[in-house]
Amino acid sequence: MRNVELKRGKKPEQLLKRIIDLSTKEGDIVLDFHLGSGTTAAVAHKMKRQYLGIEQLDYGNNDSVKRLKNVIDGDSSGISKSVNWQGGGSFIYLELLKNNQQYINEIQTATKTEQLKKLWAQMQQSAFISYKVLPQKINTEIKEFEALSFEEQQRFLVEVLDKNLLYVNYSEINDATNKVCEADKELNVKFYSLLSK
């Protein structure tokens, strides 16, 4: 597809309706690995399909959860008129248990070097630091860290974290250090058993 421009990078509901109509029937499951603002899920919901959506980024006011709540409340945009959408239904969403992502969030909201230094001390105790990093070397050369601009200090601390461990892996939910409650463990087991059917 050449020279196709989508307003604000969003796919129109009408296009997704055509794709879903051609490839599924009512009750089928539609999967979107890059949920974004939730257009695919919104269209699937209006077309009486089940759906699974996965998203790691925070879209703020353009969030898929907000959008799906609007759909349930009877949103009249997109394909609503053509499918006689009146609202209704429900959906469930889950959030991943943060591991290193929690540190990234705290680094990004910090406002002073002293906060970052405290975070660095905490990270050495409980974060997953990249195997390429020697924390003791950073500690002995802390003056070099302090000489960086605040933005560079933030970038540096984000870079030392192992990005493969931003969230708690399913295989680690029984590790007591992750503090996963029994209800969440049970929900995970049920969810993954459904996917394996």
pLDDT digits (tens, 9 = 90+) for 85-139: 999 999 998 888 999 999 999 999 999 999 999 999 999 999 999 999 999 999 9
H helical segments located in 134-178: 135-140, 142-147, 150-160
pLDDT of 3 higher than 80: no
The percent of residues above 70 in pLDDT, for the chain, comes to 94
Is residue 29 classed as helix, strand or coil in its secondary structure?
Answer: strand
pLDDT of 8 higher than 80: no
- pTM, two decimal places: 0.71
| DSSP letter, residue 25 | -
pLDDT of 1 higher than 60: no
**How many residues in the chain?**
197
Is residue 84 classed as helix, strand or coil in its secondary structure?
Answer: coil
Strands 50-53 and 29-32: parallel
153-174 mean pLDDT? 94
- Torsion angles phi and psi, residue 57, rounded to 5: -85, 155
What's at 186, amino acid-wise?
A: E
Among the listed residues 156, 167, 97, the one whose alpha carbon sits nearest the alpha carbon of residue 128: 167
- Supply the pLDDT for residue 40: 96
Q: List the CATH code of the domain at 10-72.
A: 3.40.50.150
Among the listed residues 144, 94, 154, the one whose alpha carbon sits nearest the alpha carbon of residue 120: 154
CATH 3.40.50.150 maps onto the chain at 10-72
pLDDT of 187 higher than 60: yes
pLDDT of 2 higher than 80: no
